[in-house]
Amino acid sequence: MFENSSEELASHKLLILYILNKINMDLTNSQITQVVLETEMMNYFSLQQFLSQLMESKFLTTYKDSAREYYSLTQKGLEILEYFLSRIPEDVTKK
């Protein structure tokens, strides 16, 4: 049903890292979801799976502030993003 190549999966994960870096602030799950769904880059369920995988890989971390949980890009996540930035399609980075 949601078959994607491994390259597409990697591209989507990089896109999440890119969004957090480009916006230059930590975001809640709801805020990330809103950005991704408004731009129609991926579906909700894939996004949640990718967020979980990025956390497991230590590319993202979370913290609580005022009872809200925020996602934050780690140094490791930033380094991966910089290394693979060219793999994100240009038309996507301009949305």
Find the domain containing 78 and state its range.
6-87
Q: What is the pLDDT of residues 5-40, one digit of tens each?
A: 777 788 889 989 999 999 989 999 999 999 988 888
What local confidence, expressed as pLDDT, does residue 2 receive?
Answer: 47
What local confidence, expressed as pLDDT, does residue 69 receive?
Answer: 95
Q: How confident is the model at residue 95 (pLDDT cuts 50, 70, 90)?
A: low
Q: What percent of the chain has pLDDT over 70?
A: 87
Domain of 71, CATH number, reads 1.10.10.10
Give domain status of residue 1, yes or no: no
- For residues 73 and 59, give the distance between their C-alpha atoms in angstroms, rounded to a whole number: 6
Give domain status of residue 95, yes or no: no
Give domain status of residue 94, yes or no: no
Q: Please state, rounded to an integer, the average pLDDT across all residues of the chain.
A: 87
What local confidence, expressed as pLDDT, does residue 12 receive?
Answer: 87
Cβ(63)–Cβ(70) under 8 Å? yes
Task: Count structural domains, the chain.
Answer: 1
Q: What is the pLDDT of residues 60-90, one digit of tens each?
A: 999 999 889 999 999 999 999 989 877 776 6
